[in-house]
Each structure stands twice: as structure tokens, then as C-alpha cells.
Structure 1
Amino acid sequence: MSDTMLFTVAIFVFVMMLIGLGLTVWEFSRGQPHREGELAENRSRAQRETA
């Protein structure tokens, strides 16, 4: 393989890794575990208000 082809492949792999990292960060900040935590907080707040 030529140097240009290796560089192109390396850039492609790097971009794919950045996209994966970005999606992972987005999922952990806005994904299902985050929503479950908000739901639990809302339930406990509602129970305190009714007590």
C-alpha cells in the first residue's frame, strides 16, 4: 500500500472512532439510564409531596 492510501485509511478509522465516542457520550448523557434516574427522582418527589 502506498503512503497516501495508508493515510486515508488512518483518517477514516480515526473519524469512525470519533463518531463512536461522540455517540457513546451522547447515549450516557441522554440515554435510558439517565431517564430512569429522572423517573426515580420524580417518583420519590411525588411520594414526599403526598406524605
Structure 2
Amino acid sequence: DRDVVLVNFNYRLGVLEKIDITIFWKKKVTELRKKRISHKPPSQRQNKVEIK
């Protein structure tokens, strides 16, 4: 029984770590996108907004 509990606990920790990593990457990606959009001229920026 103790082994099963340990495995479940480790699995949960792994899942939490994966969630943290995905959140981290999503933040990174959004930051990069914002930087790219800000570098482009206004006409292209407006087009991107319209697509969304």
C-alpha cells in the first residue's frame, strides 16, 4: 500500500511540474509574440488584430 501511495504522490508531483512548465512556456511565447508585433509597422499590427 505504501508503494502505491508513493507512486501516486510522485505522479502528482510530475503532473504539477509539467503544468508549471507549460505555463512558463506559454508566458514565454506570449512575450515573444508581443515583442515581434511591436517591432512590425502599424499596418501589419492592425492586420494581426483583425485576424484575431
The TM-score range, normalised by the shorter chain, is 0.5 to 0.7
Runs of at least 4 residues of structure 1 off by over 6 A? none
Q: Which has the higher contact order (CA 8 A, sep 6+)?
A: 2
**Structure 2: where are the runs of 5+ without partners?**
43-52
What CA RMSD, in Å, does the superposition of the two structures yield over aligned residues? 1.7
Q: TM-score, normalised by structure 1?
A: 0.67
Count of aligned pairs between the two proteins: 42
Q: TM-score, normalised by structure 2?
A: 0.66
Of all paired residues, the percent bearing the same amino acid is 10
**Structure 1: where are the runs of 5+ without partners?**
46-51
